Structure 1
Amino acid sequence: MLEKTVYRQLLSRAFDIPIKVTYWDGKTESYGTGTPEVKINLKQEIPLKAMTSQPTLVLGEAYMNGVIDVIGNLQELIASAYRQAGSFLTNNPFLKHLPKISHSEKESKQDVQHHYDIGNDFYQLWLGKTMTYSCAYFEHPDDSLDQAQLNKVRHILNKLKPEPGKKLLDIGSGWGTLLFVAAEEFGLEATGVTLSKEQYQYTQQKIKEKGLAGKVTVLLTDYREIKKTYDYVTSVGMFEHVGQENLALYFKKVQEVLVPNGRALIHGITGQHQGAGVDPFINQYIFPGGYIPNVAENLTHIMNANLQLADLEPLRRHYQKTLEIWYTNYTAVIDQVQEKYGEPFARMWSLYLQACAASFEAGNIDVMQYLLTKAPSGTGLPLTRKYMYQLED
């Protein structure tokens, strides 16, 4: 009886919006001030100890398996938990619940393939024509997803102020859109590296279709194995997956593969106040081995690698909007996903996309673009930031 009372007290203080909860015993209670627009249906009791020790993992699994149903805006529900001071859902030291995560080349390959080698068919259902799985850049509020993804790639390349004919390395090149734009629009000789077999095969096929052989190359290899040097380096949505213990090595590798005066644009998810670290649910089911550092961590590694910070731009609201569009696309095809992969998988990805959008909405994670240069100090960049936007007008 006491456990049920505590259970209800925890839920009553977990959100900053009014909610209605129907418990496994059939009793319905409302919490907060106002008319609830979100309703939670708990179909069976979840052990209190499990729920409070690793809430994102336990509740995430419960949602996947249909033990919990949410009627209403799940993104808003999760964002409200992030906003609520002292919520048991977000005030947990996630890191202590996980063993030390290793990121050898073999383990990194396994982690990447777990996530990206679900199959290109899965991602093609909802990512859009560019097959770009990272934060888009909305120059105008009504930009389509495909337009905003191309905006992002051009924004990255504009920041580098690249000269045609020079060489670019893209670390974690995904399905290749940045490589193609770099070659076709900026005249660069572009090389990408990925550990995903599916991404590698897709990019190889696109190189043939676009007639870019000799201008674009993709390698199925670990970035740590790159020995050549390049005029420019890009890396989008990559450092979140190298592991906390490899962040120093990652930025050092960026420095090593750059020629003197070379420039790099590193784009990835960070925390502005404290790193989001490791989330047990995402680590278990979505992307094993992930770690989200805070800005201070990255800047420390950048300085220690003898790289110079030339510019830093936050794009948090852009990623929230990107995820919301992905979720809309995903919702339209969820029946296809469920038919091929099963209901728990389909619900898992639905939760993942909405939870990530909520995290950006609440501001507990951000996405940053770090423009970096390598010594000596004469970088060749203009004195002001105006050049970054001239090609976008």
Structure 2
Amino acid sequence: MALQTMLRKVIREGDLTVRLPGGDRLTAGDGSGPPVEIEITSARWAGRIAANPSMAVGEAYMDGGLVLRRGGVYDFVDLIGRNAKYRPLKRAGPLSRWWLDRRLQANARAASRRNVAHHYDLSVDFYRRFLDPDLQYSCAYFPRPDASLEEAQVAKKRHLAAKLMLGAGQKVLDIGCGWGGLGLTLAQESEAQVDGITLSTEQLATAQARAEAAGLSGRARFSLTDYRDVAGPYDRIVSVGMFEHVGRPNFQTYFDQVSRLLKDDGVAVVHSIGRYDGPGFTQPWIAKYIFPGGYIPALSEVLSAVERAGLVVTDIEFLRLHYAETLRCWRERFEAQRAEIARLYDERFCRMWEFYLCVSEIAFRYRGHMVFQLQLAKRIDAVPLTRDYIGETERRMAEPARRVA
């Protein structure tokens, strides 16, 4: 049986039982760890999973073709992730790269807006169910293991602000500003002038309303603008969780634009998910249902574009398991609010997001994903000689008298 052959090849550790439509049971793994039992509800789903597990497992869970009978969806996905070491990652050859670039990641302006709307134009009430109050939808920075999600997201913003070396009166561009949390914090903390851009109408409306409510609409301005259409120049540029949506064919365009917009003594910080193990593919289910047009870059693909743009890398930092912990927090909060989310959308939507949050967390634990922060400049002396200023600035920002209410 094709499914049994596939299971025994990819599941060598753990304890997995698969109940088939006719009543037969398949087992895989070495019996270690918590037992997980799933039921595949039809022969059609069994065939699809055996033929294309990367796509069909997620679809089957969404549509009720795969039902958890023992253990939860995280237990199941974690079991698969723990066996990732037995499945070498596929490398994209030249023809595959050309096809993917042309068909899936070109991300011209109209396509970029459609792709952003697919994910980010969901109701802000939905995102409030599992994000922190500031609506930070990117990797948090955990200064200690027991830090709460709220503390870690505040620490992330301080970490970025420290690397930007902000000063009063500076002009700051926030590429992919989300719901405005980072831009508002930067404007309030430094008295800088922040321009935040997004392609999400839902995010824009929320960011503008928050700026108005905080009395910051004069210094934190948000607009529906493609990064390719910004005029500049800017003293500082920051981009958090947006570069993953640029698409590999546009890496050079992106960094050329950062270089063009940045003043000669300026500093930019790019915060993005990346791969440790070289160029690859976007996971097919994620590309179809969650982030169409998205691509997680290898640093080797990024740095070559940075160099050609004439930018100097002044600092690189890797946040290894910080995003795994962030996703764990989101997953737990999502589950706690699941009934309310199902009322906002429906059960299939909940299963899709459950699977997405679990798969994403496991990617950072087992599949070579991380977050990198690149600090870029045009001049080699644009930042201090050592990194001491980063910690010093963070400590100063954390002083009680300076905390933002």
Residue aligned with 1:387, SS? helix
- 1:90 & 1:25 partners in 2: Cα distance? 33
* 8 A Cα contact 2:183 2:220, kept in partner: yes
Residue aligned with 2:344, SS? helix
Residue pairs, 1:1-393, within 5 angstroms: 5-15=1-11, 16-35=13-32, 36-46=34-44, 50-51=48-49, 54-70=52-68, 71-84=70-83, 100-101=103-104, 102-374=106-378, 376-379=379-382, 381-393=383-395
Q: Residue by residue, what CA displacement relative to the aligned partner does 1:71-130 show, whole Å, maximum 9, x if unpaired?
A: 325345434434436757965869679672231111101110111101111111111201
Q: 1:89 and 1:68, CA in 2 relative to 1: closer, same or farther beyond 3 A? A: farther
- 2:135 & 2:61 partners in 1: Cα distance? 28
Q: Residue by residue, what CA displacement relative to the aligned partner does 1:270-319 show, whole Å, maximum 9, x if unpaired?
A: 11112343222111111111111111001111111111111111112110
C-alpha displacement of 1:204: 0.6
C-alpha displacement of 1:352: 0.1
* 8 A Cα contact 1:316 1:363, kept in partner: no
C-alpha displacement of 1:149: 0.8
The one-letter code sitting in structure 1 at the alignment partner of 2:345 is Y
Residue aligned with 1:370, SS? strand
- 1:21 & 1:47 partners in 2: Cα distance? 12
Q: Residue by residue, what CA displacement relative to the aligned partner does 1:31-81 show, whole Å, maximum 9, x if unpaired?
A: 222355222221222467643554222111101011112332534543443
Gaps of 5+ in 2: 396-405
- The TM-score with structure 1 as length reference comes to 0.92
RMSD over aligned Cα atoms: 2.2
Q: Residue by residue, what CA displacement relative to the aligned partner does 1:306-351 show, whole Å, maximum 9, x if unpaired?
A: 1111111111211000000000010011112222322111100000
C-alpha displacement of 1:159: 1.0
* 8 A Cα contact 2:233 2:263, kept in partner: yes
The one-letter code sitting in structure 2 at the alignment partner of 1:81 is I
The one-letter code sitting in structure 2 at the alignment partner of 1:142 is D
- 2:337 & 2:91 partners in 1: Cα distance? 34
Q: 1:244 and 1:53, CA in 2 relative to 1: closer, same or farther beyond 3 A? A: farther
- 1:262 & 1:325 partners in 2: Cα distance? 35
The one-letter code sitting in structure 2 at the alignment partner of 1:212 is L
- 1:139 & 1:191 partners in 2: Cα distance? 28
Deviates more, 1:246-255 or 1:89-98: 89-98
Q: Residue by residue, what CA displacement relative to the aligned partner does 1:139-194 show, whole Å, maximum 9, x if unpaired?
A: 12222112211110110110122222211100000011111111111221111000
- 1:196 & 1:74 partners in 2: Cα distance? 30
The one-letter code sitting in structure 1 at the alignment partner of 2:31 is G
Q: 1:391 and 1:161, CA in 2 relative to 1: closer, same or farther beyond 3 A? A: same
* 8 A Cα contact 2:3 2:50, kept in partner: no
C-alpha displacement of 1:254: 0.8
C-alpha displacement of 1:391: 3.4
- 1:384 & 1:248 partners in 2: Cα distance? 29
Deviates more, 1:232-241 or 1:90-99: 90-99
- The TM-score with structure 2 as length reference comes to 0.90
Residue aligned with 1:391, SS? helix
Deviates more, 1:123-132 or 1:14-23: 14-23
